[in-house]
A and B are shown apart, each in its own frame.
Chain A
Amino acid sequence: DAMVIQNPRYQVTQFGKPVTLSCSQTLNHNVMYWYQQKSSQAPKLLFHYYDKDFNNEADTPDNFQSRRPNTSFCFLDIRSPGLGDAAMYLCATSRQGQVLNEQFFGPGTRLTVL
């Protein structure tokens, strides 16, 4: 089945220790998104790629970076995690050019910062 896969599902890191979260997709979608979701809050878009074109949200902290080496993979790098970065991180994909913007989500990676 075509899908969006996130690894790992649970990630524990230490305060200030860099961490990378991974996302892969078999849908061949050209748009990929990273969201941060805290408890009882809306998913907050951090950035998205249209093919290799990177689009950062204005309020995304510099601490958050992303890489997309090819269509299938996208990575979220947190350079120096703080306690406030503990959250669920959701990866999603969609196909550019569709009026109906259906986004396909992975199951998320829950990040704990000790």
Chain B
Amino acid sequence: GEDVEQSLFLSVREGDSSVINCTYTDSSSTYLYWYKQEPGAGLQLLTYIFSNMDMKQDQRLTVLLNKKDKHLSLRIADTQTGDSAIYFCAEPPQGGATNKLIFGSGTLLAVQP
């Protein structure tokens, strides 16, 4: 079955880098996504990567994609207390139903001042 897996918790100090990891199952996914959920709010698309790319950089965010190992990571440079949130990795389900997304269980990032 389809499964997107993430570690549940990460704690870093303010100013350090954070790396959140994810493994996914469908190697034919066109896009892979990172969503962010702040306390009391819904999920919001943070960044994404197209499957023909190995890396995407967007200001403090770097997404790395290892298609061979089906491994996706999100690196946040100079982590701030405002980055404290739950981060979800997501991919479309097998079979190309592009309406839908399969989410991981989320990684809670706690940033210590």
Contact = CB atoms under 8 A, between A and B. Distances in A.
Q: How large is the interface on A (under 10, 10 to 19, 20 to 34, 35 or more residues)?
A: 20 to 34
B44 A101 contact: no
A106 interface: yes
Contacts of B43: 43, 90, 92, 103, 105
A27 to B, nearest CB: 13
State which size class the interface on B falls in.
20 to 34
B99 A101 contact: yes
B42 A108 contact: yes
A50 B45 contact: no
B99 A96 contact: yes
Contacts of A55: 99
Interface of B: 4, 8, 30-31, 33, 40-45, 48, 88, 92, 98-106
